[in-house]
Amino acid sequence: MARKRRSPEEIVAKLRQVEALRLKGKTCAEAVRSIGVSEVTYRRWRAEFGGLIRTLGPNHASVEKPRVADSPSSTNPGRWRRG
């Protein structure tokens, strides 16, 4: 079987799926098999990305929104006035 490279976001999503299945009462082996990876792969991912499960979310830096430059804008011209 060909190996598939997954992005960190995909791995974290799979780890969350396993957590959800384990909370529903499935064993670790059943939950890991249901996401389509081996237990060894799951444990390696958990060791590497386990701390990211709670920190990565929809607002993760890899999905970073463009930042607004610190300059006066036409929508708020009074912002840069000195008083």
pLDDT, residue 4, reads 82
Count of structural domains within the chain:
1
Q: Which two tokens stand for residue 23?
A: 């909370």
**Cβ neighbours of residue 38 closer than 8 Å, sequence gap 6 or more:** 32
The pLDDT assigned to 61 comes to 52
User: Using CA atoms, how far apart are residues 76 and 1, in angstroms rounded to an integer?
Assistant: 58
Indicate the pTM of the whole model: 0.59
Low-confidence ranges of the chain (pLDDT < 50): 63-66
Inside any domain, residue 23? yes
Residue 1 structural domain: 1-56
Q: Is residue 69 one of the residues assigned to a domain?
A: no
pLDDT of 16: 92
For residue 38, tell me if it sits in a domain.
yes
pLDDT at 74: 56
